[in-house]
Amino acid sequence: MALIVQKFGGTSVGSIERIEQVAEKVKKFRENGDDIVVVVSAMSGETNRLIGLAKQISEQPVPRELDVMVSTGEQVTIALLAMALIKRGVPAVSYTGNQVRILTDSSFTKARILQIDDQKLRADLKAGRVVVVAGFQGVDEHGNITTLGRGGSDTTGVALAAALKADECQIYTDVDGVYTTDPRVVPKAQRLDKITFEEMLEMASLGSKVLQIRSVEFAGKYNVPLRVLHSFQEGPGTLITIDEEESMEQPIISGIAFNRDEAKLTIRGVPDNPGVAFKILGPISAANIEVDMIVQNIAHDNTTDFTFTVHRNDHLSAMRVLENTAREIGAREVIGDTDIAKVSIVGVGMRSHAGVASRMFEALAREGINIQMISTSEIKVSVVIEEKYLELAVRALHTAFELDAPARQGE
């Protein structure tokens, strides 16, 4: 008998019909003798509807009150699912984050989990009940309702699995696992049977939307085996685990990630003095703008060109900050570019294979794609290219690293 935490997202519980389907799925697991804790999101579109109501009152709603309101979305879903289970003869009980006592800090709208009181859950499981918990929410030390930010239900699921020392945390979604890249861009993309936390973290941070980054970090920290599964299709999904299989079959690259939400800024003709990087990036950081890739080139006239990338939403804010800095330090000009994208190859297999980066560059060169910036780590290589070449680059790299699914007979 296993203890399994199952998380169902908004689309999985988006209608009464779907909630009934989820109840059927949970019932089957219960009939196998497994102990089940279910974490659910609000019905799809409900959180946006609630935020929309708040914005009719105030363009910038008070975060504490916003959390009080948006947390009601999950409260509806947990009660409906518990009802659907009870109707099927499965003993079930629903709890809000406050009732379980998922203790968080007081950062309203983006709180972090500090501690979970699992006594109530264990007592219910021992009594043979399925426990249905509201995702995305908790309570701070003052009794205020808090929410964990977008995708926070994944984090709730993983945190409960860690607290209960569950055998597996299953994340049910609208895809049947983690793929080598987005199948909409590369039809020959393959579902991975297994991927490491490290690789999944890179994929999530580089643009793969399958799992929320915080939930992967949490799972890796507490070694909670994570499995991504399709809500309404049978299949093994993808297991995310700490193990790196030391075998001949271990691929060099596990996946190709990409991100269109990038912008590049360059400040040219900067006097090349000590501390220049801080003078440029200090004000950017102070404006709460996150910098990703950085390149610095020294010219013959003792000046430097300094280039970095930010999220595209931060482009105009970063430009304003950089123009002020340019005037202060006597730089020649500031240039911005939003027509770029980032493409990355990810894989723990890189550690034991030389020449991975050059193979990547060769594949892009064959397609006539110019690389503007390069960033590397132990298990990834990222490049910035023109956005119009993004899909061509992803397909070329997918083929170059032998990730394409084999053609079926007759194709």
Lowest-pLDDT choice from 35-49, 247-261, 306-320, 329-343: 247-261
- The beta strands (E) that lie in 237-379 are given as 238-241, 255-271, 291-298, 303-311, 333-346, 373-377
Lowest-pLDDT choice from 207-216, 331-340, 381-390: 207-216
- pLDDT of residue 300 exceeding 80, the answer is no
- pLDDT of residue 173 exceeding 90, the answer is no
- pLDDT of residue 247 exceeding 60, the answer is no
At residue 245, the pLDDT reads 56
**Domains and their CATH numbers in the chain:** 3-174 (3.40.1160.10)
Residue-wise burial string across 77-105, b where 16 or more C-beta atoms lie within 10 A, e elsewhere: bbebbbebbeeeebebbbbbbbbbbbbbe
- pLDDT of residue 203 exceeding 90, the answer is no
Region for 190 from its dihedrals, namely left if φ exceeds 0, alpha if ψ lies in -120 to 50, beta otherwise: beta
Q: Is 55 annotated as a binding residue?
A: no
Question: What band does 407 get if pLDDT is binned at 50, 70 and 90?
Answer: low
Joined together, the tokens standing for residue 189 give 């993309």
Q: Is 47 annotated as a binding residue?
A: yes
- The beta strands (E) that lie in 160-280 are given as 168-173, 194-196, 226-230, 238-241, 255-271
Lowest-pLDDT choice from 28-42, 198-212, 324-338: 198-212
Considering only CA atoms, which of 262, 292, 257, 289 is closest in space to residue 393? 257
Residue bearing tokens 């890249």: 181
Q: Is 174 annotated as a binding residue?
A: yes
**Chain centroid offset of residue 395 CA:** 22
Question: What band does 97 get if pLDDT is binned at 50, 70 and 90?
Answer: very high
DSSP state of 349: G
Residue pair 156/40 in contact by the 8 Å Cβ criterion: no
pTM of the predicted model, to two decimals?
A: 0.82
Lowest-pLDDT choice from 43-52, 222-231, 297-306: 297-306
Question: What band does 139 get if pLDDT is binned at 50, 70 and 90?
Answer: very high
Q: How many beta carbons lie within 10 A of that of residue 110, not counting itself? A: 16
At residue 248, the pLDDT reads 41
Question: What band does 213 get if pLDDT is binned at 50, 70 and 90?
Answer: confident
At residue 411, the pLDDT reads 47
At residue 250, the pLDDT reads 60
Section 363-376 average pLDDT = 95
- pLDDT of residue 193 exceeding 50, the answer is yes
- pLDDT of residue 398 exceeding 50, the answer is yes
Q: Is 8 annotated as a binding residue?
A: yes
- pLDDT of residue 201 exceeding 50, the answer is yes
Question: What band does 6 get if pLDDT is binned at 50, 70 and 90?
Answer: very high
Q: How many beta carbons lie within 10 A of that of residue 318, not counting itself? A: 23
At residue 204, the pLDDT reads 82
- pLDDT of residue 232 exceeding 90, the answer is no
3-state secondary structure of 130: strand
Phi and psi at residue 168, to the nearest 5°? -160, 145
